[in-house]
Copies of this chain bind each other. A is one copy, B any other.
Amino acid sequence: MNAEIISIGTELLMGHIVNTNTAFLCRKLAEMGIDVYHTSVVGDNPSRLAKAINQAAVRSDIIITTGGLGPTVDDITIESIAALIGKKLILNKTVLKDIKDYFKFRKVHFPSDNIRQALIPEDTKWIRNRVGTAPGLIADYRQKVIVCLPGPPRELEAMFLNDVVSYIARKHTTGCRIRSRTIKLTGIPESLVNNKVKDFLHLKPPTTVGIYAKLGQVELKIMSKASGEREARRAIARIEKKIYGRLKDYIFGCDDETLEGAVGKMLIARKKTIAAAESCTGGLLASRLTDVNGSSKYFIMGLVAYSNEVKKNILCVDPETLKKYGAVSRQVASEMATGIKLLAGADIGIGITGIAGPSGGTKSKPVGLVYAAVAIQNKVIMRELRFRGSRDEIKFQTSQAVLEMIRKI
């Protein structure tokens, strides 16, 4: 059982966008035990698209196309597929109603161009788009299956996970499963993680471990291929346990878990509330903390205090402290943390001040210098942090380090 992905869109061939859809589909297909031997990209060109699909139909069991389902004349996927499988295009009233409802809900006038998206090849299964307007397709063709998905990643992902996975699983059972587990670490450099798990990184299939460095985060991916899901999971669990043994302190979660989610869970479990006063991160910490569903249970208040006036008047930072040590200082961070804790009546108060750059740095206080403080009970825990990178990279790394401080405390 193998699948092939054909991405359609001149914007991909021009390099305007990076093909993340193919990576997503490859990952999901691998998890289902379906091999992918080829992926390709063609432009918005009917004859090249038809050639690509015909070639795929010879060598692959499942052909998945992405993109080219939009309302404009550039979007040629449906016409091409209809011609290929020899079916007429028919206006589907259910689809049309879906599309009209989409605009109605948003209180936007229905643009007549979008009618095109309701044209479906006769007797062909279509997939409802719960996120956007273009429906997907699942068509049988010469004992093969052709699946057409829209280009926008959130539409494609929702459709694939909700509808395509179960369709393929029903039709085709494969003899093996690939499972993976990603262990996420922070507060430790890649090279140190590498050293600690060197023996695992040399493992040969069926079970392998890879290391991936991201901004403010290192990930270890364990993959296992086995005849059944249980065997694969068991092989992963064995290695996972050993990795935990060696790196426990730095691991904050697995797979889709986020650092803010892990912090949120701990706050809920311990019934603690939190409030944050941010200067250089400009609300990014609050935004990440509130990305978590249910965060209103523990997140009381965030304050972005850019000016000294706000720091003094609202957070009650002592004007003397500001004068003596400057806004970017250990002392001000600490007073911001206690100030917001009091103001919000929270259990934990966070204070962050620093220089996100690119301008504003000096010799003694360079761009990337950040002071972070966590006020809890009667203590204030302080850290001086130093980062490199662009403005958003410094903001992100700071938020990452502060979340890790909260997690550790």
Contact = CB atoms under 8 A, between A and B. Distances in A.
A122 interface: no
B304 A303 contact: yes
Given A39-B41, A107-B386, A282-B291, A190 B71 contact: yes
A27 interface: yes
Interface stretch (A30-38, A235-243, A263-271, A331-339): A30-38
Nearest to A212: B11
Number of copies: 2
A396 B307 CA distance: 25
A202 interface: yes
Contact of A343 (B114, B295, B314, B386): B314
A124 interface: no
Contacts of A163: none
Interface in A266-293: 276, 278, 281-287, 289-291, 293
A38 B48 contact: yes
A38 B41 contact: yes
B290 A283 contact: yes
A357 interface: yes
A22 B12 CA distance: 9
A194 interface: yes
Contacts of A190: 70-71
Contacts of A210: 10-11, 16, 74
Interface residues of A, number: 110
A191 B293 contact: no
Given A303-B301, A307-B300, A314-B343, A15 B25 contact: yes
Interface stretch (A86-94, A370-378, A387-395): A387-395
Interface in A34-78: 36-43, 45, 48, 52, 70-74
Nearest to A153: B215
A8 to B, nearest CB: 12
Interface string A292-336: 011110011111111101100010000000000000000000000
A195 interface: yes
A11 B221 CA distance: 10
Nearest to A285: B283
Interface in A189-205: 189-192, 194-195, 201-202
A365 interface: no
B282 A304 contact: no
A386 B105 CA distance: 7
A56 to B, nearest CB: 11
Nearest to A357: B293
Given A72-B201, A72-B211, A314-B343, 7 more contacts: A12-B23, A14-B223, A72-B194, A105-B388, A111-B194, A296-B360, A300-B309
